[in-house]
Amino acid sequence: MSQKSILAFSILLALAGSARAQDAALQPTVEVTASRVAETADASLADVSVITRADIEASHAPDLLEVLRLQAGVDVVRTGGPGAQTNVFLRGTNSNHVLVLIDGVRVASSNTGAFAWENLPLDSVERIEIVRGPRASYWGSDAIGGVIQIFTRKLTGPHLAASYGSYRSADGSAGFGARDENGGFSVQVGARHVGGYSATIPGICNGPNDPYCIYNPDDNGAQYHGGTLSADYKLGTQTLSASAFRNEGTQNFDNGASDGISHTLDQAIGAALEGDVTNAWHQRLSVGTSREDLDTPAFASAYRSTREQASWTNDLALSAAQHLIAGIDAVHERGVSIDTSGFGAPYEKSRDIDGVFTGWRVATGDYDSEVAARYDHNSQFGGAFSGSAAAGWKFSDALRLTASFGTAFRAPDLNELYSPGYGGYYAGNPDLQPERSRTLELGAEWTADAANRLAVHAFSTRVHDLIDFSGGSTYQAINIDRAAIDGVELTHALRTGVWSLTNNVTVQNPRNTDTGAQLLRRPRQKLSSVLERGFGERLSADVEFFASGSREDVGARSLPGYALVNLRADYRLNAAWCLGARLENLLDRDYELAHGYNTPGRSGYLTLTWQP
């Protein structure tokens, strides 16, 4: 079946599902990321998805890549096996156009501007909120493609989990939590070891005599250990809370005749005081710090990134129909490059970013609207305004239409400005200008009944002064004039009796409008379908289908499209014990996410959890 046929079939399946809906319910979930205050995802004027802990546990996925790739508008690329560099593209924008938060703390590296997704253990995640589209009017720099916020586990009792699978993958976690009417705490620790497979394939070499070929047929594995901690306590109408995430790892990668090793540390610590000041005023005062270390002895280099932040967000009820959101942010970020290879000069830089924002939300019956604006001052690049406006019309109990427009910006990260590169190649450029964008979006949400929902969102994004490493013969960082991304996302969910069906379809055209070339490693078409079936109270079995269109890669190469079928099941032994199984790439397809880099073949995993 061709890629276009698969996409058409998935859309027809989504539409046909409406005739089979029963009385099962699709309950809306609460999110706090789109406008920095709590609201249900279906009431938000932004395009929001929430991945719950139940979704994660049902997947039995070994890592986050398998969970995120099923989401509409999200493309994931990994250069090798577990532990290898992982990039997440949201709505066709660059990987550093996604603002990433862990429990409200910014965690992307000050050096690269991107988050090290490969270093996030899936068992430490409680839920993930994905907000598509620009959110700079609330969050400031980096949120051109959207915001992804990860919330860490909040246990309410004992918890044990162990998993073993292909490529000598073994991991386990243990934790405990307790809670009463005044508050509670949760602590969890875990570790993972993966023997892995060769990160590269011979095709990465430019011929048999390529002196710079990094291919090595040995296995490239990874080891991690870390944990999460959280606690909260009520102080009258306010709640004092704190959370901490820390993960240390060692990753092995191909580096020609001699393998390379990287050592990583990722950390996020935050505290907040939140609650009602009056019946009409809710506030949240928070502080946080994040850190990312990357040491690569094979390259004689190391990077250090730290960030301290403070925020104050206020939600004021002006009336039963109107809310005013206002707040301030202060961020200090620092990046250090240590290089003893002689290729270039190291750097140590820091900067401050201060922002003030406000939003006005009106909800009157079948009509709701929101306008927001923000001013940021970057100590290096000066001031930047961003704004957004959105409206929703509910034409009937079943149909709701939305429209929005927003601007966003991103200041160049420190590597783009100051990186010495590699022997002069891929070096930074201190003359770079910030990237700026504007996005128009139209949406329609159709709720046939409580068990069957269909949503379509069309978007058009224009990015000016996009930063790209394509400057002359040395690939220095430069601002290219414009990039354009147009796309449509379709999401569908159906719950009927013991059956559940979820479909996500993305059709997009991310391109450099100066040259007409496609932006790298982002497919034009993508779909995912998950069919779940319950067999009584103890057993459930699911089928995942994922298909991706072709993609452009470095060197004007085209990567062909591919399709994967995964199976998963879980069996509840009793009230406390659950056994899960996952079979990935059932048909053992060969495919590439990035040219020359390997992907797993047919592989399986078993998971045993105990949680009374």
CATH code, domain carrying 262:
2.40.170.20
What digits encode the pLDDT tens for the residues 261-279? 999 999 999 999 999 999 9
Helix (H, G, I), strand (E, B) or coil at 20: helix
Which residue carries 């032994």 as its tokens?
573
pLDDT at residue 414, rounded to an integer: 92
Q: In terms of Cα–Cα distance, which of 474, 482, 465, 475 is closest to 431?
A: 465
Q: How confident is the model at residue 23 (pLDDT cuts 50, 70, 90)?
A: very low
* Token reading at 310: 């403070």
What digits encode the pLDDT tens for the residues 199-253? 999 999 988 788 779 999 999 999 999 999 999 999 999 999 999 999 999 999 9
The predicted model gives 597-603 an average pLDDT of 97
The predicted model gives 348-377 an average pLDDT of 96
Total structural domains in the chain?
1
Pairing of strands 281-296, 260-278: antiparallel
pLDDT at residue 319, rounded to an integer: 95
The predicted model gives 3-18 an average pLDDT of 42
Q: How confident is the model at residue 343 (pLDDT cuts 50, 70, 90)?
A: low
Helix (H, G, I), strand (E, B) or coil at 425: strand
Structural domain span for residue 169: 3-610
Helix (H, G, I), strand (E, B) or coil at 415: helix
Cα(121)–Cα(459) distance, rounded to whole angstroms?
32
Q: Mind giving me the DSSP string for 235-304?
A: ETTEEEEEEEEEEEEEEEE-BTBS-EEEEEEEEEEEEEEEEEEETTEEEEEEEEEEEEEEEEGGGTEEEE
Is residue 577 a contact partner of residue 608, using CB atoms and an 8 Å limit?
yes
Number of H helices, E strands in the chain: 5, 33
Q: Is the pLDDT of residue 383 over 50?
A: yes
* Token reading at 110: 């000050």
Q: Is the pLDDT of residue 109 over 90?
A: yes
